[in-house]
Structure 1
Amino acid sequence: MGTSRTFSIHFWLNLAKKKCDLAPIYARVTIDGKRAEISLQRQTSVTYWDTKSKKTTSRTPEGKALNTYLDQVYAKLLECYKQLSSDFELVTEKSIKARFVGQDEGHKTLLDLETYHNQNMKGVLKPGTLKNYYATENYIKRFLVHKKKTSDIFLKHLKYSFIIDFEQYLRKGPSLQNANPLNNNGVMKHLERLRKLMNFAMDLEWLDKNPFARYKLKFNRHKKEYLSKEELKIFEEAELDNKGYDIVRDVFVFACYTGLSYTDVRQLNENNIVRGIDGDYWIFTQREKNEQPVKIPLLDKALSILDNYKSYSELNNGKLLPVYSNQKINVYIKDIAASLEIYKHLTFHSARHTFATTVTLSNGVPIETVSKMLGHTKISTTQVYARVLEQKISNDIRDLRSKLEQENKQDDYGYSITARR
């Protein structure tokens, strides 16, 4: 058996805030004796206010417009009550007020979502990742102002066309850093973050339909540079005329033989070097990017570099290697490569690709083992690094030919036929 509820809407003048003959108008929503009051941002003459009809008796155009507005407010409050009831929401005086002023989930805006996400992701996302979300938010704000002529937009008003328009704005407009537009992958990164925000809104039930449902991100796949076996040897043995270049070369080569990223190399200290189950030295650490534990046996080349910097480690609280800023180290790597006539677009991250491709996979190390050492959670991630070299293919096919020829010889002599009988 249902329970009947009392619901009423009442307009009144707040005489406590009366100035001269004018007082502000409020709406009062009452459910089961509990009240919520809403300022209507309007005022009227106390003299012409009818306490029975809850309207002004003024016959002026302003008075008629005010009464029309009050009728609209009454209808809207009534509609809020009906919406909440039909959606099986908890209907209270506060929920009706929230729906009326646009502060409930059904009236959340895009910037509300941005703020809620960024506040709740502190400590969950890495600072660098969160910084990227702030950059995306800045682009969204500029897009809304310049193209949509508004400061915000309700989530329920987001359509597929909004995504397309935002994409074109990113492609054609100036970037946050300079007057040049973003490249394709830069555009896709911002759209990728916006898509994650829409998924977040769906999880929060702030959005009924995802505007990204039919949109596909289109990243350009760039060639990932790495050093070949010969180039790595040249890098290792080169006589450099600059102490800073020597240091950067050593740190880079160390990463080529360990597969560690820039951040992970920078954070290494003597506590990360332990004896493994085989009695040899290993690196035991945790990836900064995904907090995956990583265990890497130290190859002789990497161990030799650490030995060369023992004095540095002793003077710097156990820090293993002197690592410059990421920007500086990348400039130095490019300078070194150019001086050695290695014409590739190398960055510190190229060392990680070199480890995966040249040092491990091309020497027969299984991709599952390489994936573990790189700290990947999925083999598919490792496959981005896994360049199967032409020489490796050639060697594998040569082995296959040898096996097939041996089998054919056995068949010619009848050995395998006899075995089958």
Structure 2
Amino acid sequence: MGTSNTFNIHFWLNLSKRNGDLAPIYARITVNGKRAEISLQKQTSVTFWDTKLKQTNLRSTEGKALNTYLDQVYTKLLTCNTELSDEFNVVTAQSVKARFLGLDESNKTLLELVSYHNEKMEGILKPGTLKNYYTTEKSIKIFLINKKKTPDLLLKQINYSFIIDFEHYLRKGSSLQNSNSLNNNGIMKHLERLRKLMNFALDLGWLEKNPFARYRLKFRKFEKQFLTKEELKIIENTDLKNSKLQTVSDIFIFACYTGLSYIDIKNLHRNNIVKGIDGSDWIFTQRAKNEQKVKVPLLPTPLRLLNKYNLHAELNNGKLLPVYSNQKVNSYLKDIATLLKIPKHLTFHSARHTFATSVTLANGVPIETVSKMLGHTKITTTQIYARVLEEKISSDIEILRSRLG
């Protein structure tokens, strides 16, 4: 417990920084002969400084207030020394100083943790993931100011009640920017990131207990939109008069027949088109999300689209397809669905679901093969995409009937 440490506190005037009759007051901590000095951000008259009592002789109100402050500093430094000793920490002059100034690990704050995490995770987490942490940071700051009436909070002050209050505040959403679009799962994503931050603090030794130990995230399952075979054919066979809508339609159809995500299609280069094991053209690439290698044989439709945009690749250093921003693509897809009277909320990710459901599984491609082409690390992830269609059920049962005679 460090009870054998020699500990001493000494107040002194730093005469090297003297300005006329005034000099700044410092506290010197000595532990086992090793020193650390702290500027107390106070100054007093050199003439009236008592070098024995280590305080001012001024009898004025200011003099009495200064001596009271020095007594408080003395008491706080003694407390810091005791706390470190009771916590079985190595007690040094520097560790007492850090505890006094609130710079040691037990006095880390929530926003210090968030900043440290985001700084250290740059280059490790994907830019999109890191961007989400910055969004969560912004929500935390707004919550602290508006609800907790403080710019920051010590990590050791975060408890189960804090999490519940944060969730409730996000659900109210009255003071959050774009709060109307924050649904239950969006709220859970914020809390999921906060939970990961708390785990990060535990790993760093900045936190002793996990406030999320008894909290359960409450995600709601939603059926993701995908196109049926008939709806996919409608989009394929429609010649849109608007060139931008037609381009987005082409890229979306390409995704429906390859299963590639938005960013993977945006990054697709002619070097990614290679001859596969069967001598046909395949896409060989690596998913941006999880760096899994993906190998997808090119069906006739995506091959036709690559040929259509061959000039684009020539003029853009081999980038195969003209892909707008994700926001614009999703906006144009909404227009396309309205124009073609497809009663679904389409996003670019719908193409990935369409590939898994209507293009592959509904046509008898085994789920293991689909999982490989989608670049999933676990087949359970593919099962989220896979829909058991009535048509497929009917087909499978028909086969069963024939086998049963």
Cα distance per residue 1:214-268 (max 9 Å; x no partner): 1222223222111111111222112322333322222111110100011111111
1:402 aligns with 2:395: no
Equivalent in the alignment of 2:312: 312
Paired residue for 2:228?
A: 228
What does residue 377 of structure 2 align with?
Answer: 377
| Residues 118/4 of structure 1: CA separation in 2 closer, same or farther (3 Å cut) | same
AA in 1 matched with 2:307: D
Cα deviation digits, residues 257-304 of structure 1 (max 9, x gap): 100011111111110000111212110011112221111111122222
Contact 1:192–1:217 (8 Å) recurs in 2: yes
Amino acid in the other structure paired with 1:292:
Q
Tell me whether 26-35 or 172-181 shows the greater mean CA deviation. 172-181
Rounded to whole Å, the distance in 2 between the matches of 1:3 and 1:87 is 12
Counterpart secondary structure, 2:307? helix
Q: Is the 8 A contact 1:80 1:96 kept in 2?
A: yes
Task: Check conservation: 1:270, 1:319, Cα contact below 8 A.
Answer: yes
Give the TM-score, by structure 1 length: 0.90
1:75-100 CA distances to partner (integer Å, 9 max, x unpaired)?
32222223323333232211111111
- Which position in structure 1 is the counterpart of 2:288? 288
- Aligned alpha-carbon RMSD (Å): 2.2
Partner of 1:55: 55
Q: Following the alignment from structure 1 to structure 2, what is the Cα–Cα distance between the partners of residues 332 and 226?
A: 16
The structural deviation recorded for 1:352 is 0.4
Alignment match, 1:191: 191
In the aligned structure 2, how far is the partner of 1:393 from the partner of 1:73?
77
Aligned counterparts of 1:181 and 1:293: Cα–Cα separation in 2? 34
Give the CA deviation at 1:197: 0.8
Deviation at 1:105, TM superposition (A): 0.6
Aligned partners of 2:3 and 2:150: how far apart in 1?
Answer: 44
Larger deviation, residues 206-215 vs 162-171? 162-171
| Runs (4+) off by over 6 Å | none
Aligned residue number for residue 104 of structure 1: 104
Counterparts of 2:4 and 2:326, CA distance in 1 = 68
Determine if contact 2:250/2:305 at 8 Å carries over to the other structure.
Answer: yes
Could you say which residue in structure 2 is the equivalent of 1:257? Answer: 257
SS at match of 1:120: helix
1:30 and 1:341 map into 2 onto residues whose CA distance is 79
Aligned length: 404
In 2, distance between residues paired with 1:137 and 1:109?
Answer: 13
Whole-angstrom CA distance in 2 between matches of 1:71 and 1:372: 70
Corresponding residue SS for 2:23: strand
1:237 corresponds to 2:232: no
Normalization by structure 2: what TM-score?
Answer: 0.93
Partner of 2:139: 139
Cα offset for 1:4? 5.4
- SS for the counterpart of 1:90 is coil
Contact 2:170–2:176 (CA under 8 A) maintained in structure 1:
no
Q: Distance in 2 between matches of 1:331 and 1:68?
A: 66
Q: Deviations over 1:380-406 (max 9, x none)?
A: 221221111111122222323333x33
Letter in 1 for 2:224: K
Distance 1:308 1:317 in 2: 16
Residue 106 of structure 1 and its aligned partner are, at CA, apart by 0.8
Aligned position for 2:148: 148
Q: 1:125 aligns to what SS in structure 2?
A: coil
Deviation at residue 60 of structure 1 after TM alignment: 4.5
State the identity %. 70
Q: CA deviation at 1:54?
A: 1.7
